[in-house]
Amino acid sequence: MTIPLPASIAKQLDAARVSLAHRPKLLELYANCFPNTLQTTTKLLDDGTSFVFTGDIPAMWLRDSSAQVRQYLPFAREDADLRRIVEGLIERQFLYIGMDPYANAFNEEPNGKRWDEDLAETNPWVWERKFELDSLCYPIQLSYLYWKETGSDAVFRGSFDRSIRAILRLMETEQYHMEKSDYRFSRTNCPAQDTLRNQGRGMPVGYTGMVWSGFRPSDDACTFGYHIPSNMFAAVVLGYVREIAETVMEDAYLAAWAARLEDDIRYGIETYCVYRHPVHGPMYAYETDGYGHYALMDDANVPSLLAIPYLGYTDASNPVYLNTRRFILSPDNPYFYRGTAAEGIGSPHTPPRYIWPISLTMQALTSTSDEEVGRIVAMLERTDAGTGFMHEGLHVDDPAQFTRPWFAWANSLFSELITGLMKDGKLG
């Protein structure tokens, strides 16, 4: 299954062959990774929507599909074929959310396929029903950025209005997870991180104004129910909803609803999530439960603490972010690994001493240092194990040991970085 490559993408590849001619390995990686989502994971469906799966898994994640196509947005304004793909994806995402806003991954058709036979509400469209707050944020972000890049408000028609209201209702419910939520998820005969404790409810949390999440962007269960990077992402996209409601939809009620939720979440983050570290100073924790317990770490998957400026919650010069960044890029972060071939952030989702190209790319995307960016790009060049693609994780001592050879999200994020560096003339 291959769709014709949109003209703007082919033109960008031609430009790369000129601007990266002096760096043949980087050109090879970019030429493979940049079109990878379109060439291998995108289907145009007869109903006008698009189905974008992750690569080696046939389902469509709300998070991954959004991240896979974000790199193409700067090329969409003048390319009708590319707009057809992205608009079709956004419509399908909001159709899925309308079916089940708690689900994270969906089938192309109602065939009843799923990752596992979980103890959870489901329907034939749902591949997996792990509630991950970030999964609801990504389609909002994608639709907003598409609007800003193209000037087209077409993505706010169709299923958008109904599904946005479902998202906001869910967020309100999950501010009071223990008191109001009916969500349960249990999986048997699995690693501990694949299921929720406490009869599928997760461990108790106290009210903070933030939104509870059962699972992290890694699809691993949260240790403490308030995943802070996801709440930061939620605060940002609620600002997008407010702007869309005011500017496009002319819906004052929806705008006020989104603004109220955004204010609650931002208050909760700044009140409950700043940890006074004895070495690094005030920094953001990764998770909390509202009872004074914290997970001090970062995970490679986005949203992450490393990605805070990329998400738009604050900029890269914010002192609390800088303290957080120093912590997570040091051995004090239990998932930071340094080896003979590479160093960076991994995840409990993959084996110890495996780091992720996604986290390396995000480190570069959020860096203010050209030297740091250059060092990371060189690291990515030499750790592909000769495959010409990014992977999920790689061993810091031996990049030939890697997970998931076909992982389109990693390819797309890498390409987003390189596209930006080419545009800014920083790959000399």
d(CA 124, CA 131): 17
Q: Does pLDDT of 1 surpass 80?
A: no
d(CA 68, CA 416): 10
pLDDT attached to residue 42: 98
List pLDDT tens digits, range 154-195: 999 999 999 999 999 999 999 999 999 999 999 999 999 999
d(CA 253, CA 284): 32
Residue 54's pLDDT band (boundaries 50, 70, 90)?
very high
Cβ neighbour number for residue 351 with a 10 Å cutoff: 12
Residue 74's pLDDT band (boundaries 50, 70, 90)?
very high
d(CA 216, CA 228): 10
Distance spanning both ends of the chain, measured CA to CA: 36
Give, in order, the Cα–Cα distances in Å from 319 to each of 99, 185, 272, 280, 298: 41, 38, 17, 11, 18
Read off the tokens for 220. Answer: 């691993």
Supply the Cα-derived Rg of the chain in whole angstroms: 20
pLDDT attached to residue 428: 80
Mean pLDDT of 92-114: 98
List pLDDT tens digits, range 273-302: 999 999 999 999 999 999 999 999 999 999
List pLDDT tens digits, range 315-356: 999 999 999 999 999 999 999 999 999 999 999 999 999 999
Mean pLDDT of 87-106: 98
List pLDDT tens digits, range 247-277: 999 999 999 999 999 999 999 999 999 999 9
Domain covering 7-423 assigned CATH 1.50.10.10 in the classification: yes
Q: Which residues of 6-24 are buried (b: 16+ CB within 10 A; e: fewer)?
A: bebbeebeeebeebbeebe
What global pTM score does this model have? 0.98
pLDDT attached to residue 135: 98
pLDDT attached to residue 122: 87
Residue 350 and residue 410 in contact, taking contact as beta carbons nearer than 8 Å: no
Read off the tokens for 207. Answer: 């009210």
Distance from chain centroid for Cα 401: 24
Residues 6+ apart with CB under 8 A from 249: 156, 161
Percent of residues, the chain, with pLDDT higher than 90: 99
Closest alpha carbon to 142 in 37, 251, 3: 37
Read off the tokens for 267. Answer: 């208050």
Domain ranges of the chain: 7-423
pLDDT attached to residue 338: 98
List pLDDT tens digits, range 17-48: 999 999 999 999 999 999 999 999 999 999 99
CA atoms within 13 A on the CB side of 176: 5
